[in-house]
Amino acid sequence: MFNKIYLIILSCLLINFDIIPIASDNSDNTISTYKSGDMLFYIHCNMAWDFLNILKDINKIRVLGSSDSKSISNGATLEDRLSGVSALISGARIHILFNDIDSIFSDNKYVVFSRIINLIYPLFDIFTIHKHIEVLKNAEKIASYNKETNRSLLKTKFIQYGWLTVNKLAPYLLFAWSRKSNENINFFNIFKKSENLNLKSYEIFEITKSLTYISEALRKHMRFKAELGDYKNYNISSIKA
């Protein structure tokens, strides 16, 4: 039930992704009130998306080295379904990108570049669906492998938690720092008030977000590597014998 609700929320959130205007109307580098509201709404959507992903990723990190096959299987099931949603996200983003290709040079080049880079993350999810399926099908073998070899993976978990935290918080912290520095806005209004939103602040968010997507893809790759370990070549029966 939780999985279904999770995916419905994600789908609703992503309807508005990447359809926001990315050009500035003003020569003073300040976005118009209408567009600044859209930009801030886009950031709010990203916040919600990241929050839901953090819950899923924390669970995946938590079961690293686990000897409970059910926990491993549940984590793989949720991520596998989320990867299916990522396929739809990628298709929508590619369609939007090429649909607006004629006006791409009149838009902000930093944001356009960031949006293109952003495609890496959902595409990575698509190309790693087989990894989720492998974990799901071999949950018992992985759990037994972890138990017999005493794989706690505490150091790996610590690194993964820290890496995830930096990836998720960096875009918002840098955006907040930029608004505070360039607009002298009250801290509590940074993510609330869209008036006088400086284009530079939004560019910083977009660029940082695209870089963290690349970092997240690398983090997930390392997590898969740690989760699977060498279970294929490990003969559990020989240990028991």
Q: What is the C-alpha to C-alpha distance for residues 41 and 192, in angstroms, rounded to an integer?
A: 10
CA gap 166, 9 in Å, rounded: 24
Predicted confidence (pLDDT) per residue in 170-221, tens digit: 999 999 999 988 888 888 888 888 887 888 888 899 899 999 989 999 999 9
The pLDDT confidence band at residue 23, using thresholds 50, 70 and 90, is very low
Could you give the C-alpha distances from 24 to 38, 96, 205, in angstroms and in order?
A: 12, 19, 15
225/188 Cα distance (integer angstroms): 41
The whole-angstrom separation of Cα 184 and Cα 182 is 6
The overall pTM is greater than 0.95: no
Write out the two tokens for 153: 């993976």
